[in-house]
């Protein structure tokens, strides 16, 4: 075998594909894998968190406090709201939660069910309430999310999204924001089920449903850019025509009056 001292051909070890195209294909491939992984992780976590016992959930979240509420003066309405919540809970005797109300010193009107059994209401929402019946429906609606354990499904989505964003190197702040945003909204079926459960509690407590959704008719349209912040409750709890029709239909089917006198708040 003779030795050939000639130089190798120029095309040896050189890909015929442009490196920019290879980079694009690589990025798209990684993005696709991450997206599929995020969907699978979300589905898995949504199933797993629903199996977490209530006692464990409350132990995990019992030490957490609303950061924006630290050091704020307690709202004088909290005790009255807690008493109303306890009355509603009497109509849901099988619940396993030790639910308590916390008022957040926040001007935007909102309410949400926090993991562990804390119903958070903002001062801005309470300032809009004109009757106890309105507040009872809001509390009943949030209790409905606990009954369906919707708040944990949102937590599962938030954890999944946080992990994906962290894996992409977006930073802890964005990951945390993703977790919060994923928890803020429920799907239409969850909202409707919470509405129905809440309306049942109101009807059982008062014998009618008058004034239950009056607050929603007074809040501004969250689709308006100018009023989106003020209407933040409706932005996170959208009350569309279908949901209102379902509530009216339920009241009619059960024979619940919607024109009785309401209780002051």
Spatial distance between the Cα atoms of 229 and 222, rounded to a whole number of angstroms:
7
pLDDT-derived band at 174, boundaries 50, 70, 90 = very low
Res 224: pLDDT: 47
pLDDT at 49: 64
CB atoms within 10 A of CB 161: 22
What's the alpha-carbon Rg for the chain, to the nearest Å? 26
Residue length, the chain?
A: 265
- The lowest-confidence range among 51-65, 169-183, 240-254 is 169-183
Percent of the chain past pLDDT 90, that is, above it, reads 33
Give the pLDDT score at 136: 98
Separation CA 69–CA 85 (nearest Å): 21
- pLDDT (tens digit, 9 = 90+) per residue, 186-239? 778 888 899 999 999 999 999 999 999 888 877 765 554 434 444 456 666 766
Residue 115's nearest CA partner among 155, 71, 75, 85 is 155
Using one digit for the tens of pLDDT, what is the confidence trace for 144-160? 999 988 877 766 665 55
pLDDT-derived band of residue 29, with 50, 70 and 90 as boundaries? confident
CB-count exposure of residue 226 (10 Å: 0-12, 13-18, 19+): exposed
Identify the DSSP state of 96. Answer: -
| Average pLDDT of the segment spanning 234-249 | 75
**174 vs 194: which has the higher pLDDT:** 194
133-142, 155-164, 203-212, 236-245: range with lowest mean pLDDT: 155-164
Element (DSSP H or E) covering residue 124: helix 123-126
Q: Say which residue, 184 or 73, is predicted with more confidence.
A: 73
What percent of the residues of the chain are helix, what percent strand, and what percent coil, each to the nearest 5? 55, 5, 40
For the chain, the domains span 19-61+72-254
Q: Which two tokens stand for residue 29?
A: 């491939």
Lowest mean pLDDT among 19-33, 36-50, 231-245: 36-50
- pLDDT band at 135; cut points 50, 70, 90: very high
CA angle 144, 229, 223 (to 5 degrees): 80
Of 32-36, 62-66, 124-128, the poorest mean pLDDT is in 62-66
More confident residue, 227 or 245: 245
Given this model, what pLDDT does residue 177 score?
42
Q: Give ∠ CA 186-65-80 in degrees, rounded to 5.
A: 80
| pLDDT for residue 171 | 44
Mean pLDDT of the chain: 76
pLDDT tens column, 81-92: 999 999 999 999
In this structure, what token pair is assigned to residue 152?
């944990």
What is the rounded average pLDDT of the residues 18-43?
A: 68
pLDDT value at residue 200: 96
**pTM score over 0.85:** no
């Amino acid at each position: 075998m003779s030795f050939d001292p000639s130089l190798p051909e120029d095309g040896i070890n050189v890909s015929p594909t442009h490196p920019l195209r290879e980079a694009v294909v690589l990025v798209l491939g990684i993005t696709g894998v991450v997206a599929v992984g995020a969907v699978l992780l979300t589905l898995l976590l949504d199933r797993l968190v629903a199996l977490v016992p209530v006692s464990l959930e409350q132990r995990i979240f019992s030490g957490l406090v609303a950061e924006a509420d630290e050091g704020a003066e307690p709202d004088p309405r909290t005790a009255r709201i807690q008493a109303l919540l306890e009355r509603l809970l009497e109509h849901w005797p099988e619940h396993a939660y030790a639910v308590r109300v916390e008022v957040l010193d926040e001007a935007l009107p909102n309410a949400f069910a926090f993991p562990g059994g804390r119903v958070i209401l903002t001062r801005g929402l309470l300032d809009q309430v004109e009757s106890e019946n309105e507040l009872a429906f809001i509390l009943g609606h949030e209790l409905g999310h606990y009954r369906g354990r919707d708040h944990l499904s949102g937590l599962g989505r938030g954890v999944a999204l946080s992990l994906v964003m962290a894996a992409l190197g977006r930073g802890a702040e964005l990951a945390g924001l993703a977790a919060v945003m994923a928890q803020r909204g429920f799907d239409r079926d969850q909202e409707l089920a919470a509405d129905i459960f809440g309306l049942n509690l109101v009807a059982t407590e008062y014998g009618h449903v008058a004034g239950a959704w009056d607050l929603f008719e007074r809040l501004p349209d969250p689709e308006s850019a100018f009023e989106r912040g003020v209407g933040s409750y409706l932005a996170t709890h959208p009350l569309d025509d279908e949901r209102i029709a379902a509530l009216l239909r339920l009241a009619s089917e059960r024979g619940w009056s919607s024109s009785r006198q309401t209780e002051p708040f």
